[in-house]
Each structure stands twice: as structure tokens, then as C-alpha cells.
Amino acid sequence: MAHHQSLQGTGLVALRSPPDQHASATDNAFLLKLRLLCGLDESDLAAIDLLCGERRQLRARVTAVQQGRPSDRVFVVLDGWVCSYRLLADGRRQITRLLVPGDVCNLEALHLPQSGSAIGTLTPCTLAAVSPQALRELAAARRPIADTLAWLAAVDLAGLVERNASLGRRSAREHVAHLLCELLVRLTLVGRAQGNGYAMPLTQEEIADLLGLTSVHVNRVVQALRRDGLIEYGGKELVITQWSALKAAAGFRADYLHLEGMDGSGADFSAAPWTFGAEGSRPADFATG
């Protein structure tokens, strides 16, 4: 695993772009996601867009927020991949969330004086740095926005719960497959996937730190998935060649991602690959024995 010697955030460039382009979905993956999943009206979206004016352009592999630091900004990923992670005293690293465009990195900064985890970039990326103060005030003023933030937090939590289950109870193969499934769904939502494939910029070491494994073992598992014809993966490009088989290998169900949205209306995924196949194979979760 990465015995991480936190790179300093020397690659930081702050700039302020005039938020003239009001709430355009294409330029801000976060707004895109909110539009798809939350029932916010245009004025709410515009108000949020306004708060996203402060942008930070970061190089790959720099830390944006250090573990234990007072968190004075809420970061939203507009482009690139980011992660939040926890470091143990001896350098062992656990990546706790993988954040792709449209995701909020540290919503908890809104209510906690300091973050227990660090935030680091995985690729070059641009983040919106939102003032917690301003966001709290906006939420206090507009109920739909408060609800949206609470919903985002709840979905974040659901993801954490799912990863807990994976870390505790899924085999390495299941876990890797699960990650790949999840990413396809999430990236598709924000238009970062093409069909059954997507750009996969993570190194195997990063995957290992995310899944609680070793990069060597990740490598072997990936090769097995390749050999079994479930995926094609090389040169930072991933294609899921057998979606339903991969899904089965992972025990993947998209429920915990809450794509149905806040109001249950949700985005239209009628043509999405993960809606295909034997969804009737409901897990025997609720067996009454």
C-alpha cells in the first residue's frame, strides 16, 4: 500500500471566474447532477452556481485539504478525479471516497470544525471552493437547498455504508468488480462514460488503497477479470465487456447510489446498461428463515 508522504499542495492556483454563464449544465457537473436528481428550480440552481465562483485548478496528486485541518472550504469537483482518505500513524492509507465530477468532497465541513480525513487529487482537476458560511446561509434561506444538502449528505453516507460492507465482507474479486460497476454508473450520470467504458485514471496502487488491498493483489485480480472476459482494461481505459457478468461477480446493485433522486423522479436511465438483465434476482436479503 502507499505509505503516503503527503505531497504538499504546491500546485495550487486560485482563480475567480465571473459566474456570468448562469447555471449552465454543461460547464458545471455539480449543477448537472443537481438538475438530474434534485427538484431544484432554476433560481436555486443559479444561487448555488453563484457560490461556486471560486475555482481551484490543481495538479494531479496534491493534497487539497490536510487531515485534521480546520476545513474552511467545501470543495466540489467540477472536473478530474479526487479522493478523500485517512492516514494511519504509520503511513498506511485508506481512501474513503472516490470523487468524480459532480461530487462534493467534504460536505461535512459545513458542520464540523475540522475534517478527520484529507482530500487529495488523483488527476489534474478543477474544484469549486465554496464558503461553508455562505452555503449555510443559503440553505437557511431556502428550504429546497437545505433539503438538497441533507440529501447529498445522506447519499454520501449510504455510499460509505456500502463500502464498509465491501471492505468487511466482499472478496477482493467482488470488491474490484463492484468498484468498476459503481464507477460506470456514476460516470454515466455526469456524462463521463461512453457506453460501457470510461477513462480510468487510477493506478493500481490507488485502487488498492481504496479497496483495502495491495497493489500486487489488485493487479492479479484485474488480470483475472480480464482473462475471464468481463473487462478490457489497459492504458487508463476501461471497457466493461460483460456487464451482467461483472455485476454478478460483484453482487452489484445500484440502489445505494440513489439515482432515483431526491423526489423519486430521477434521471432517465431507461437505456442504461445497468437497468438490463435479471434484476429479478433480488438478493435474499429479507429471508424470514
Partner DNA sequence: CGTTGGGTTGAGATTGGTCAAAATGGGTGG
Partner DNA sequence: CCACCCATTTTGACCAATCTCAACCCAACG
User: Which is it for the CA torsion 42, 48, 50, 56, positive or negative?
Assistant: negative
- Number of other CB atoms surrounding residue 251 within 10 Å: 17
- The C-alpha atoms of residue 271 and residue 102 are separated, in whole angstroms, by 21
Residue pair 21/62 in contact (Cβ under 8 Å)? The answer is: no
Contact partner, 91, from its own copies, DNA, none, Cβ < 5-8 Å per class: its own copies
Residue 63: all three cell numbers together? 493534497
Residue 8 within binding range of DNA, rule CB under 7 A? no
Question: Which phi and psi angles does 204 have, rounded to 5°?
Answer: -65, -25
- The C-alpha atoms of residue 120 and residue 27 are separated, in whole angstroms, by 22
Contact partner, 220, from DNA, its own copies, none, Cβ < 5-8 Å per class: DNA
Residue pair 76/128 in contact (Cβ under 8 Å)? The answer is: yes
Size of the residue set binding DNA (CB under 7 A): 19
Contact partner, 191, from DNA, its own copies, none, Cβ < 5-8 Å per class: none
Rounded to a whole number of angstroms, the minimum distance from the CB of residue 27 to DNA is 26
Of residues 166-195, those binding DNA (CB under 7 A):
171-173
Contact partner, 244, from DNA, its own copies, none, Cβ < 5-8 Å per class: none
Alpha-carbon Rg for the chain, nearest whole angstrom, is 19
Contact partner, 270, from its own copies, DNA, none, Cβ < 5-8 Å per class: none
Residue 232 within binding range of DNA, rule CB under 7 A? no
Q: Which residues pair with 55 in a beta bridge?
A: 15, 128
Of residues 251-270, those binding DNA (CB under 7 A):
none
Nearer to its own copies, 87 or 187 (CB): 87
Give residues in contact with DNA (CB under 7 A): 1, 171-173, 203-205, 212-217, 219-220, 222-223, 234-235
